[in-house]
Structure 1
């Protein structure tokens, strides 16, 4: 029996395709999402470092190292050094754990502008930052310069030139870390925490800065802060209204993507604490209403174990993918992240190919409710 030439060609092509598929080597698996915990040492000794569930973390960012006289400075050196030793000891339980120093923060960002003003200043700041890493055998530097180019906290030094100096600071630190890598043969990380608002994009060069960075940790929380303003979500995934300018984690991510930060470097923030407001009445359970004054929120363990059994009722905003508590007798509104909302954030991270999540701050949820939810979602 003779087969037509076209049939023979088609059969041969099919066999070749089958063979190619059979011998095709699978590509490297996608990296697991990172889970970065900010752990506060600014209060002194970490209460119980052995209770930290390091098996569920990839990184710990130690907060904070100060900026003083143009240098990275251990203001609380006596307790910081003990904390470094105890955190490093946790690697016996998770050898892959990376520990970074986080420099700055809300209270210690006022001196960044001076510290990176000239090439000589930047070299000194970079050297002293990396010297802490070398001395205490840590794994990298995280910069938490809260407000480059804008006032921020009262007393902050800021300049228009911060925009360019922000980039040059990372260039200098990366060069210093590269030198340390040659010296030790290790690998060292450089990351940053960034504000989630458009203002941060406008006062930085994120497309240039990201070239030196391993992760860009978006502080997608504190969109609303306690006071006499509008009581709304402070760490919502999406907007809760039709206002196209309403702050949300999704909008923050889009800002940084459009500014030139690759998705695989973007880390989304989760809040392990709540913010509260006192309202004048019960209209709309306080959501997006004018507040009278601020009210206590607190860490998630407190919210879950105490407030939810003391007259507060949990509600879910479907549009925002965010929870809130309402006390109808006291007219108090509290916004926060819970197990469901952090699951939504983790799913968003996986769907959009982001690097992972980070959270502020570990001690706010000592029972690990939220970290457990993150770990479970990322390991499904």
Structure 2
């Protein structure tokens, strides 16, 4: 047992009111993101957020204030708003809406005291100032202090950092700005250490445990360091409760060929298999880097992607075939297909045993190597990669076999009828 857990174990003997991190052998984590910007159409209710089946809700997203503004200045993101506080201070998208959402999430704990509510900072659009914040002692101090204030203000259980990504920002900087630097990963270690020290100190006073988690990339680039090796991720993990690995988006619809975006295992027919672009390979990279299994949470998607103009191929199923780009029949006319959207549109049907089948001209197939389902409509030449209860069961089995901490999914609004959460929760039971 590491020194942090030992310290907390001793503290619990003196103060049984402390809420400790999960230990080996306890029920696994089932962690789901709640999309705060969707709250008008998907409000925080007991029906939408089943706190009895979730162990933690990650509230997405909170930003950091920088030079009086928050939001990514990149024009394609198109969201910049004023904010108050020193550089590095946490900033809401909408003070009134975010505050109301957090209070509603915390209220669910009255009936489900084991349920935890954590704010997730950053995300794809709002990671652009992490590099600057982590590189500045003053900005790190502001980030840490404002995190503690926010947790105490709303009765939260911790902070999740979604830095996408250290050393290589996902959304490019505007000209003249800095949003990634070679020192990012080492600076991330320093930030996490300072955050851990402050959270432990605050937790001792508040007689509770404040968690620190991160969302991390599933590819080799995330784990590797500029000078070679991967020692940094093991060192970072020492300050974390666990790491949520984003093991999805391995294939995207701007690619020329169709492919599974969240394959669990390798399929030799998929050209990216050799590069380890599948979930099990991602987990093994972290384990080989020295991160403990009980500090790893496997990410699963409650959505899929569609391609159009896909040739049927020799097997007639459109799999790994050349296509004409992203389909347009997904959510809001895009190429992303939430599970609930597939059901509502009749593209899939759900049987009483939780299995799915194709509808409206789609045939449902199962890739026994990758352990994921997919859909193909030969008349419309549309191919869809997605997750369903059967693939969730496979991933839950892998999580338990590897002794991982649990499962994380993106995100709650994609599962309108709880079909996916019900399946995941049931499959994750010890």
Name the TM-score, length of structure 1 as normaliser. 0.89
Which position in structure 2 is the counterpart of 1:349?
Answer: 399
CA distance in 2, matches of 1:195, 1:232: 19
Match of 2:51 among 51, 54, 57: 54
Counterparts of residues 81-96 of structure 1 (less than 5 Å):
81-96=99-114
Query: Per-residue deviation at 1:44?
Result: 4.4
User: 2:266 corresponds to which residue?
Assistant: 239
Asked if residue 276 in structure 1 is aligned to residue 272 in structure 2, the reply is no
Residue of 240, 259, 262 corresponding to 2:289: 259
2:72 maps to which residue?
none
Which residue does the alignment assign to 2:412?
A: 362
Alignment pair present for 1:290 and 2:322? yes
Moved more, 275-284 or 161-170: 275-284
5+ long unaligned stretches in structure 1: 1-27
Q: Which has the higher helix share?
A: 1
Aligned partners of 1:297 and 1:303 also within 8 Å:
no
Deviations 1:326-358 (A, max 9, x none): 111111111111000000000111111000001
Match of 1:122 among 120, 140, 155: 140
Q: How far did 1:239 drift?
A: 1.8
Deviation at 1:163, TM superposition (A): 1.6
Preserved contact between residue 311 and residue 322 of structure 2 (Cα < 8 Å): no
Q: Which moved more, 1:354-363 or 1:236-245?
A: 236-245
Contact 2:33 2:58 in 1 (8 A): yes
Partners of 2:191 and 2:38 lie apart in 1 by 27
| Distance (Å, rounded) in 2 between the aligned partners of 1:42 and 1:127 | 25
Distance 2:395 2:55 in 1: 17
**Among 376, 381, 387, which residue is 1:337 paired with?**
387
Q: How far apart are 1:29 and its partner, in Å? A: 7.6
Counterpart contact for 1:122–1:169, Cα < 8 Å: yes
State the Cα deviation string for residues 43-68 of structure 1 (Å, max 9, x = none): 34442422121111111111110122
For the 8 Å contact 2:159–2:211, the answer to whether it is kept is yes
Is this contact kept in 2: 1:297–1:334, CA < 8 A?
A: no
Matched position secondary structure for 1:50:
coil
Map Cα deviations across residues 242-274 of structure 1 (whole Å, 9 max, x no partner): 542241110000111111210011000110011
Q: CA, structure 1 residues 68+43, in 2 after alignment: closer, same or farther (shift >3 Å)?
A: farther
2:195 corresponds to which of 166, 169, 173: 173
Match among 213, 216, 232 for residue 240 of structure 2: 213
Equivalent pair of 2:44/2:104 in contact (CA under 8 Å): no
Provide the residue aligned with 1:299 in structure 2.
338
CA distance in 1, matches of 2:37, 2:242: 23
* Cα contact 2:130–2:163 (8 A) shared by 1: yes
| Structure of higher CA gyration radius | 1
User: Normalization by structure 2: what TM-score?
Assistant: 0.79
Counterparts of 1:314 and 1:220 in 2: how far apart (Å)?
22
With 45-54 and 247-256 compared, the bigger mean Cα shift is at 45-54
Q: Please report how far the alpha carbon of residue 152 of structure 1 lies from its aligned counterpart in structure 2 after TM superposition.
A: 1.4
Alpha carbons 2:300, 2:407 under 8 Å: kept? yes
Q: CA offset at residue 310 of structure 1? A: 1.4
Q: Report the RMSD for the aligned CA atoms in angstroms.
A: 1.7
Picking from 146, 154, 162, the partner of 1:144 is 162
Of 218, 242, 246, 1:196 maps to 218
